[in-house]
Amino acid sequence: MQKIMGILEKPLGKFSAFIQNNNFTSAIVRGITISIPVTIVGGLATLITAAPDPAILGEGNFFYGVLALWQSLAQGSLGTFAALVNNVTMNMLSVYCLLAITYNLADSYKLDKMTSCMTSAVLFFMIGCTFDGGISMGFLGGRGLFFAMFVSCLSVFITHVLFEKNIKITLPDSVPPNVSAPFEQLIPLVINVIVFYLLNVLCLKATGVIIPDFILNVFKPLLSASDTLPAMLIYVFLLNALWVIGVNGGNIVNSVMSSVLLMNLAENAEAYAAGQSMTHIFCYSPNNAIMNTGGSGAALALVIAALIVAKSDHLKAITRLGGAGTIFNISEPIVYGYPIVLNSYLFIPFIFVPMINTTIFYFLMSTNIIGKMFINVPWVLPSPIQLALATLDWKAAVVWILLIVLDVLLYLPFVKLYDKQLLKEQGTLETKN
């Protein structure tokens, strides 16, 4: 393990530093993170409107009455309100990501954040929307997420370059900043509008589609690949393997994949609302309830296994202190306390148990035995609740219960071996004392 750590430490450290220090990547990650509450509120609204038909149950039982009440509320004024909330959240997700990314990127370049956001909004609506008899919503939702990133990054970069070249209206120092800032952005706004309009014309002539469609076509292979089992397994492998060598896997892997997974979730939500079949298996946030239940490495199963077999003082103490957090998918006390880093006893199940979970859920969802995810729910909810709400399929929660039993059985021999080693060290220490 030490040799592996020595080989990987330098390139991974450089890549991690690049992700964290690069203005564009860090702004995108922060922007998407900031937008998470929007998806959760939209998910809750979808949950209200997505009432199952009570006819799937026989009359005369409690659950039939619950579904009947749910359906009645969904078809009434509450359902109308929830549909409105869904329209202004999930169906406008790209707009919120656009503004959040622009705000963070402008802040990193020391530009006026509000005027930068207005500039990117003008450009986004100018190209991404049509106004024939109303505003086209096509790219305001999840489909426009990559386009929103493009507009945010390019518009702020152009403004930054123009400011560096002092191509702006400069007012006297006596003018208050809140007055001078909008005037400073006037020339960059005009130039941005011209540049984006010309780029769109060139794109249309060269490819036959406008920029948002072109970007979507470019990323289609990535979107398609993200729903394959190999892609999912690579994702979960890297996510947990990086933790084993002391690197925060979530920070690195999600910086690349979060936008793709968020788009998958948004498209599933749109398909469900339109009464169409959902196509994406691999979606933002709830997927962790499948692969990493209890946190990284399926930590809840690790904790349960430790509760069953642990006899060493160290393992029992860390389990008592950090175990409760895994119920709510908080695993850092376990990861750092056991520790998992460079742990030759636990790294195998820590990496491969989530991959087994992913494989089982993939086949169940791809064959429609359990429903696909289309609702984003808070990640701190216990995993079976997450899955039941995200899919609106109680079978997903049942499968999770069966899998946690399997995960514990897989962890048990490794935890027992590690505990045995800790007992030896504990005995040696007591002898010395």
What's the pLDDT band for 9 if we cut at 50, 70, 90?
low
Using the predicted structure, report yes or no on whether residue 360 has a pLDDT greater than 90: yes
Using the predicted structure, report yes or no on whether residue 432 has a pLDDT greater than 60: no
Using the predicted structure, report yes or no on whether residue 238 has a pLDDT greater than 90: no
Using the predicted structure, report yes or no on whether residue 146 has a pLDDT greater than 60: yes
**193-196-199 Cα angle (round to 5):** 145
> Among 239-253, 370-384, 388-402, 405-419, which stretch is predicted with the lowest mean pLDDT?
239-253
pLDDT of residue 153: 94
Q: Could you give the number of structural domains in the chain? A: 2
pLDDT: is 25 or 56 the higher one?
25
Q: Measured between alpha carbons, how far is residue 226 from residues 259, 263, 283, 289, 385 in Å? A: 11, 11, 9, 17, 25
CA–CA gap between residue 43 and residue 405 (Å, rounded)? 29
CA–CA gap between residue 242 and residue 202 (Å, rounded)? 42
Co-location of 210 and 254 in the same domain: no
Q: Mean pLDDT, to the nearest integer, of 29-53?
A: 81
CA–CA gap between residue 310 and residue 417 (Å, rounded)? 10
Domain's final residue, options 218, 245, 270? 218
Using the predicted structure, report yes or no on whether residue 395 has a pLDDT greater than 60: yes
Co-location of 95 and 244 in the same domain: no
pLDDT: is 349 or 21 the higher one?
349
DSSP assignment of 225-239: HHTSHHHHHHHHHHH
For residue 240 the two structure tokens come to 């947990």
In contact, 184 and 170? CB cutoff 8 Å: yes
Using the predicted structure, report yes or no on whether residue 414 has a pLDDT greater than 90: yes
Domain's final residue, options 192, 218, 244? 218
pLDDT of residue 253: 78
pLDDT of residue 19: 60
Co-location of 114 and 244 in the same domain: no
pLDDT of residue 242: 82
Q: Mean pLDDT, to the nearest integer, of 279-296?
A: 83
Q: Is 54 left (phi over 0), alpha (psi -120 to 50) or beta?
A: alpha
CA–CA gap between residue 239 and residue 354 (Å, rounded)? 10
For residue 418 the two structure tokens come to 């590690």
**361-378: buried (b, 16+ CB within 10 Å) or exposed (e) per residue?**
bbebbeeeebbbbbbbbb
Q: Is residue 15 part of a domain?
A: no
Using the predicted structure, report yes or no on whether residue 36 has a pLDDT greater than 90: no
For residue 64 the two structure tokens come to 């039939």
What's the pLDDT band for 367 if we cut at 50, 70, 90?
very high
In contact, 357 and 348? CB cutoff 8 Å: no
Co-location of 211 and 286 in the same domain: no
> Among 245-249, 299-303, 382-386, which stretch is predicted with the lowest mean pLDDT?
245-249
CA–CA gap between residue 393 and residue 365 (Å, rounded)? 11
CA–CA gap between residue 367 and residue 371 (Å, rounded)? 9
Domain's final residue, options 199, 218, 237? 218
N-term to C-term CA, the chain: 31
Q: Is residue 364 part of a domain?
A: yes
The single-letter code of the amino acid at 195 is V
pLDDT of residue 416: 93
Q: Mean pLDDT, to the nearest integer, of 21-44?
A: 84
What's the pLDDT band for 54 if we cut at 50, 70, 90?
low
Co-location of 233 and 334 in the same domain: yes
Instruction: Please state, for a pLDDT cut of 90, what percent of the chain lies above it.
Output: 31
Q: Is residue 390 part of a domain?
A: yes
Co-location of 210 and 251 in the same domain: no
Instruction: Please state, for a pLDDT cut of 70, what percent of the chain lies above it.
Output: 86
Co-location of 239 and 291 in the same domain: yes
Q: Mean pLDDT, to the nearest integer, of 49-63?
A: 62
Q: Is residue 10 part of a domain?
A: no
| DSSP-assigned letter for residue 323 | G
pLDDT: is 290 or 418 the higher one?
418
Co-location of 162 and 105 in the same domain: yes
Co-location of 263 and 195 in the same domain: no
For residue 344 the two structure tokens come to 């030759």
Chain centroid, CA 74 distance in Å: 28
Using the predicted structure, report yes or no on whether residue 193 has a pLDDT greater than 80: yes
Co-location of 189 and 252 in the same domain: no
What's the pLDDT band for 361 if we cut at 50, 70, 90?
very high
Q: Is residue 223 part of a domain?
A: no
222-229: list long-range contacts, CB under 8 Å, 24+ apart: 222/260, 223/260, 223/263, 223/264, 226/257, 226/260, 226/261, 226/264, 226/280, 226/282, 227/264, 227/279, 227/280, 227/281, 227/282, 229/358, 229/359, 229/362
Co-location of 278 and 424 in the same domain: yes
Co-location of 194 and 76 in the same domain: yes
Using the predicted structure, report yes or no on whether residue 171 has a pLDDT greater than 80: no
What's the pLDDT band for 47 if we cut at 50, 70, 90?
confident
| DSSP-assigned letter for residue 371 | P
Q: Is residue 6 part of a domain?
A: no
Q: Is residue 198 part of a domain?
A: yes
Q: Is residue 12 part of a domain?
A: no
Range(s) of the domain holding residue 261: 229-432
CA–CA gap between residue 233 and residue 362 (Å, rounded)? 10
**265-267-269 Cα angle (round to 5):** 70
